[in-house]
A and B are shown apart, each in its own frame.
Chain A
Amino acid sequence: MNEALQRKNKRLIIILIGAAIGMFGFGFALVPIYRVFCQVTGINGKYYQVDDIQQTIAIDKSRDITVTFVSNNNELLPWEFHANNPVIHLHPGEVKRVSYYAKNKTINEMTVQAIPSIVPGIAAKYLHKTECFCFQQQTFAAGEEMNMPILFHIDPDIPKNIHHITVAYTLFDTKMAVATNIQKVGRVH
């Protein structure tokens, strides 16, 4: 094998190994790319708006939107968990306070985290929450029960074809979920 070829081969192998390492990095880069893409397009029903203070907004009385509140317990979590008013009607811009009832039916203190999911996905970015039990982990003593509030309104800019929104909360046991680095998945307006 002559010198020139050896040099060429060496350069090529460095480029190709570099490309392979780069693609390994790209595999991980897909995680933030996916998150940002979904945040910008708002297609996966995850990234609702978080308002620090409830602002006064013009109420669009001409439209009526039905919101269904759904509850799930992850992996047979032994809690009672349901919306107090599973179906409500409101006008875009109208501020509503609703609540979920939760009860720790075990004999141990438990910490849970509620993870929301909104259908249709595109409606998520028009859902503004000022207050939600899903913002933080909730710690309940054994047998403790509580009504947990949500304060929200729907942006009047919501597309005209959306008449019905489903908001689902799934309750996760934070001990079972190996992770503790729970973060707010919302986006500050």
Chain B
Amino acid sequence: MSEIAFQQHDHKPSFFARWFFSTNHKDIGTLYLWFSFAMFIVGGIMAFGIRLELSQPGRVLLDPNQYNEAVTLHGLVMVFGAIMPAFTGLANWMLPLMIGAPDMAFPRMNNWSFWIMPAAVLILLSTLIMPGSAPNFGWTMYAPLSTTYGPPSTAAMILSIHLMGLSSIMGAINIIATILNLRAPGMHWMRMPMFCWGWFITAFLLIAVMPVLAGAVTMMLTDKYFGTSFFNAAGGGDPLLFQHVFWFFGHPEVYIMILPAFGVVSEIIPTFSRKRLFGYHFMVYAIAAIAVMSFIVWAHHMFATGINLGAELFFMYATMIIAVPTGVKVFNWISTMFRGSLTFETPMLFAIGFVIMFTIGGFSGIMLSLAPADQQYHDTYFVVAHFHYVLVAGALFAIFGGVYYWLPKWCGRMYSETLGKLHFWLTLISFNITFFPMHFLGLAGMPRRIPDYALQFANFNKIASIGAFTLGLSQLIFLYAVIKCIRAGKPATSHVWEGAHGLEWTVASPAPHHTFATPPVIIPEEAHE
């Protein structure tokens, strides 16, 4: 790009032109992050409805169908609307800065992949006011339940999932192309920051499995509206097939939501330990191993469906083996902290919270992986506790940590450490108050996805609901902290964190609209070596 064109490009566009037509990776990253926060609030409101209904036995606020709608949309909105776009937002902002690229490889497609998302989510949320009901069969939308008894709005949900999948695939293509083709000279593969590695591998997972989900919902669509019988036993189809296809997508999907989190945490922990990441190479191999193995464990979601004993054993052992590369990661984070000179700024608190809480979620995952024991745990609150430990205290904590870590780079101002710490401790404590009792509820046999429960579960549910309301309200502190930082934070230096390494800290804070128009020179100190 010539110098003149570069300057012309740097003019100040109007608000509309800047945010709607933007092809700049930083603006699109910002859009993704605000969008995902908005969805986090929307999904949180549904969680509020769920916890209010469960705060005491009997009917509180929602009727059973409204409860089912809330459960379904909470899952879909949080997975596809909040967690995934938040990581895409972090990727958009940070990947080009980390590898010394001027922008993403396909800026115009980047704009598309963002702007599809609000449309998709609007379609999804509009099902709430459609005649009949919003989708009410859970985010896993098991056929033939969804194809036989699903409300008319199922078609709108399917369209929305197609769009969200399209957006994810376009985002993934962009990330792969950026990392493959736009690395600055000298940014060798094994010098790449872990966040880039986490996302690079995640992007391949997205391209591999989002189309399979699109296929599954397309089969649902034709079964429901066009008379095919993919999942209908009467027509020669197989009801169990849906679960196989769905979880072939669904299990890699959980790693799509956690591998970028691994990357974020692997950036934060070395910075605040003032040490290099321990076992960098093995961290890369572990991510790759987890990604590959995620394709051969899907049926551990189906232990209770009556599948063949040999298959149960295969999927049980395959699942347990995943604990090995995951353990490598956890031990390497701990080894990074070992004898480091640690400080506990908010990003570090979230990262340590991540390591501890994610490990608890991993342990309950190992309990669930035991096929004989899973007959008891299946579809109980134990499962709900497990996946909220890995998705909230895992993925979400990493996103919070990443936002606090890079916020000074984005807006050129420091956030209030007091507010950040308040947000962290309230979130951590209320999270555990919400979800830890669910382990006991599950072990005692409380089924998930049911709007009412037996009286002996009342106390733990009351505690969980109080925790959930606190958890939800604590997030307003986060919003306040971010707004306060943008408007009135103390100016940040370009390096921001004393122990930080990486190219993103060599550009000014806030990062100029255009960076690395000429590729930077990589000196080994700046790389992860």
Contacts and interface: CB of A to CB of B under 8 A. Distances in A.
Contacts, number: 123
B308 A177 contact: no
Interface stretch (A16-24, A83-91, A92-100): A16-24
B241 A23 contact: no
Interface in B120-142: none
Nearest to B244: A34
Contacts of A177: 229, 232, 234-235
Contact of B177 (A9, A30, A74, A122): A9
Contacts of B148: 75
B520 interface: no
B180 to A, nearest CB: 6
Nearest to B311: A43
B234 A30 contact: no
Interface in A128-168: none
Interface stretch (A48-56, A61-69, A101-109, A179-187): A179-187
A8 B106 CA distance: 12
A12 B180 contact: yes
Chain A: interface size category: 35 or more
A76 interface: no
A41 to B, nearest CB: 8
B177 A12 contact: yes
In this complex, the member of A19, A23, A34 whose beta carbon has the largest number of chain B beta carbons within 10 angstroms is A23
B207 A19 contact: yes
In this complex, the member of A17, A30, A179 whose beta carbon has the largest number of chain B beta carbons within 10 angstroms is A179
A20 B234 contact: no
A24 B214 contact: yes
B146 to A, nearest CB: 14
26 contacts: A5-B181, A9-B105, A12-B176, A13-B173, A13-B177, A16-B173, A16-B177, A19-B207, A23-B211, A23-B212, A24-B215, A27-B211, A27-B212, A27-B215, A27-B216, A34-B241, A34-B244, A41-B308, A43-B311, A44-B238, A172-B234, A177-B235, A178-B223, A179-B228, A180-B235, A181-B235
Interface of B: 1, 105-106, 148, 169, 172-173, 176-177, 180-182, 207-216, 218-219, 223, 227-230, 232-238, 240-241, 244-245, 248-249, 306-308, 310-311
Interface of A: 1, 5, 8-9, 12-13, 16-17, 19-28, 30-31, 34-35, 41, 43-44, 46, 74-75, 113, 115, 119, 121-122, 170, 172-174, 176-183, 185
